């Protein structure tokens, strides 16, 4: 049985206290929400904080406010189950509810939060193992070792960004608000992720995610398609989020295709968007955009399924995600 290491557990009741405790804890402090990612990682000694600071009792992080015409604010500690069941999210932002519904199992969705999902550790077959297994291969670059077993000549870790909501938030242009003892900042979801499996977030460890701001609904639609072995439980080994905004004429004015689950950061395929902008969404344009996604997708051999097949699936899943957005005839 894997046991948690000893740590100090703090449960602040205000944001001010939470960031103060984090500032005092220094580099050995870490926030926790539902703990469905952090605690297994601690049991495997992949992450070893000495002070763990819960964000679950902070009222501001547990609220959903706003409306679809001005934009919705979702607190970082709102659980995935609450996201799936919230009537406004289901009605106005169905892509967010449906992507959340694909995450893990009902029990884990009752614990796991939107904030934890957006800040999930990157994953790799050589890393998501217990301590003894990793010791058996002399560890790897991401933790305790000096070789990358996926790309032995590489000085970079290729562990994969494996959250279902990340590609969706990047595609729809969500904004994330962080607070620390040094102040507050708001970043575009697209700017948060770094293409490095170790240093995967453009964020300091002491910054706490407070909320996620969804953009107003003004003519855009989005969809998400997820590839995994089992229809429940499994992490994505490819996720495609598609976003289009159409003018009254029916022509696409803005588009984004974002691939998750294939690289250390979500991959925005600008070439795919270019195939769509200025056209109506028809099978020919969808095919061209899917081809562009296929060209850009370069999954590595560090998750489930053969990576060359996952590359082919990038085309198929882009086709499906965009077809979901075709106007009903
Ligand atoms: C069996 C299993 C299957 C899973 N399947 C999926 C899946 O299919 N898709 C998927 O996307 N995920 C999956 N997960 C991962 C995880 O359950 C979810 O991503 C969940 O949403 C994580 O949320 P959490 O609140 O539990 O995060 P936590 O474990 O509490 O935190 C995750 C990370 O975020 C940081 N953090 C959390 N909240 C804050 C905050 N407010 N400010 C700053 N840092 C913060 C923590 O320090 C930690 O680094 C799975 C996990 C398991 C165990
Ligand atoms: S990609 Fe390489 S360095 Fe990163 S976790 Fe996997 S084996 Fe380790």
The confidence band for 327, taking pLDDT boundaries of 50, 70 and 90, is: confident
Q: Please say whether the beta carbons of 60 and 53 come within 8 A.
A: no
Which residue's structure tokens are 């519904």? Answer: 101
**Pocket lined around ligand 2, Cβ cut-off 6 Å:** 124, 126-127, 140-142, 148-150, 157-159, 197, 302
Q: Is 151 exposed, middle or buried (0-12, 13-18, 19+ CB in 10 A)?
A: middle
Indicate which residue's Cα is closest to atom 3 of ligand 1. Answer: 104
Looking at residue 307, its pLDDT comes to 93
Please identify, by atom number, the ligand 1 atom nearest to the C-alpha of residue 77: 41
Indicate which residue's Cα is closest to atom 28 of ligand 1. Answer: 35
- Average pLDDT of span 273-293: 97
The SS3 assignment for 271 reads helix
Residue 305 pLDDT > 90? yes
Q: Where are the beta strands (DSSP E) in the chain?
A: 8-10, 29-32, 51-54, 64-67, 71-75, 175-180, 183-188, 208-214, 220-227, 238-246, 252-260, 267-268
Q: Please say whether the beta carbons of 207 and 183 come within 8 A.
A: no
Looking at residue 1, its pLDDT comes to 82
163 CB near ligand 1 (under 6 Å):
yes
Q: What is the pLDDT of residues 180-222, one digit of tens each?
A: 999 999 999 999 999 999 999 999 999 999 999 999 999 999 9
Looking at residue 31, its pLDDT comes to 98
Rounded CA gap, 225 and 281, in Å?
A: 18
Looking at residue 233, its pLDDT comes to 85
Please identify, by atom number, the ligand 2 atom nearest to the C-alpha of residue 122: 5
Pair of tokens at residue 93: 């932002």
- Radius of gyration for the alpha carbons in the chain, expressed in angstroms and rounded: 20
- Average pLDDT of span 221-238: 94
pTM, rounded to two decimals: 0.98
Rounded CA gap, 181 and 242, in Å?
A: 36
Q: Which ligand is nearest to the CA of 209?
A: 1
Residue 262 pLDDT > 80? yes
Q: Give the distance (Å) from ligand 1 centre to CA of residue 134.
A: 22
Rounded CA gap, 138 and 182, in Å?
A: 39
The SS3 assignment for 252 reads strand
Q: Please say whether the beta carbons of 178 and 184 come within 8 A.
A: yes
Rounded CA gap, 31 and 19, in Å?
A: 10
Give the Cβ contact number of residue 67 at 10 Å: 12
Residue 329 pLDDT > 70? no
Q: Give the distance (Å) from ligand 2 centre to CA of residue 142.
A: 6
Q: Please say whether the beta carbons of 171 and 258 come within 8 A.
A: yes
**Cα torsion through 119, 56, 42, 127, rounded to 10:** -20
108 CB near ligand 1 (under 6 Å):
yes
Q: Which ligand is nearest to the CA of 140?
A: 2
Distance of CA 321 to the CA centre of its chain: 17
Rounded CA gap, 241 and 317, in Å?
A: 9
Q: Which ligand is nearest to the CA of 126?
A: 2
Write the DSSP assignment of 219-234 as a string of letters.
Answer: SEEEEEEEE-SSSSSP
Residue 242 pLDDT > 90? yes
């Amino acid at each position: 049985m894997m046991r948690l290491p000893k740590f100090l557990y703090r449960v602040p009741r205000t944001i001010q206290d939470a960031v103060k405790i984090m500032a005092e804890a220094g580099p050995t402090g870490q926030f926790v929400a539902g703990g469905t990612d952090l605690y297994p990682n601690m049991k495997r000694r992949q992450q070893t904080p000495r002070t763990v600071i819960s964000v679950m009792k902070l009222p501001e992080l547990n609220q959903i406010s706003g409306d679809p015409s001005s934009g919705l604010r979702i607190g970082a500690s709102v659980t995935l189950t609450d996201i799936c069941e919230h009537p406004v999210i289901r009605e106005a932002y169905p892509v967010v509810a449906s992507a959340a519904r694909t995450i893990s199992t009902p029990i884990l969705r009752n614990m796991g939060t939107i904030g934890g999902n957006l800040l999930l550790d990157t994953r790799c077959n050589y890393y998501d193992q217990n301590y003894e297994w990793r010791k058996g291969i002399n560890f790897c670059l991401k933790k305790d070792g000096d070789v990358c077993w996926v790309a032995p000549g590489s000085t970079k870790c290729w562990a994969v960004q494996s959250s279902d909501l990340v590609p969706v938030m990047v595609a729809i242009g969500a904004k994330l608000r962080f607070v620390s003892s040094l102040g507050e900042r708001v970043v575009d979801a697209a700017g948060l992720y770094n293409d490095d499996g170790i240093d995967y977030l453009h964020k300091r460890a002491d910054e706490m995610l407070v909320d996620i701001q969804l953009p107003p609904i003004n003519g855009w639609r989005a969809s998400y398609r997820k590839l995994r072995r089992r229809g429940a439980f499994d992490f994505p080994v490819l996720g495609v989020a598609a976003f289009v905004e159409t003018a009254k004429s029916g022509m696409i004015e803005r588009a984004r295709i974002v691939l998750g689950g294939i690289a250390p950061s979500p991959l925005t395929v600008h070439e795919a968007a270019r195939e769509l902008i200025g056209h109506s969404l028809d099978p020919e344009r969808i095919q061209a955009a899917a081809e562009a996604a296929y060209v850009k997708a370069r999954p590595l051999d560090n998750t489930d399924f053969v990576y060359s097949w996952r590359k082919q699936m990038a085309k198929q899943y882009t086709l499906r995600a965009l077809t979901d957005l075709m106007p009903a005839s």
